[in-house]
Amino acid sequence: AAVPGPESERAAVGSAVLAENGRIRIVAVRSGCLEGEERASGSLEILAGPERKPLITTHSEFGVRYVVNLETMFFNPRMAPERQRICAQVRAGEDICVLFAGGCPEALQLADK
């Protein structure tokens, strides 16, 4: 969800996040929702940190690191427990087809098993 309020308040929120965690270099918020036939994610607004195109980040989850272009791919780190739950159901020797995988986080986790 977008951060409400005037631009100065939004910048203050971004600055507070940067100050709280030294590993974060850019604070961005999605300013729209999934739209269109391809369910493309809305545009990103940078609240704090340098402007950067493309907006690429590295995300770590359950021992696997993903490089994600946030402008071209929908990615939600809050789905990590669900991805782990699904991957835990896969047994050795099974053939898996991951439909609509996007950046393939499930496939990468399974390959890491």
Higher pLDDT, 39 or 92: 92
Match 């996007």 to its residue by tokens: 102
Summarised one tens digit per residue, pLDDT across range 7-37 is 778 889 999 999 999 889 999 888 777 677 7
Beta strands of 7-97 (E only): which ranges?
Answer: 27-30, 44-48, 56-61, 64-69
Nearest-5° angle of CA 23, CA 27, CA 33?
Answer: 135
Would you say the pTM of this structure is higher than 0.75?
A: no
Confidence class for position 70, pLDDT limits 50, 70, 90: confident
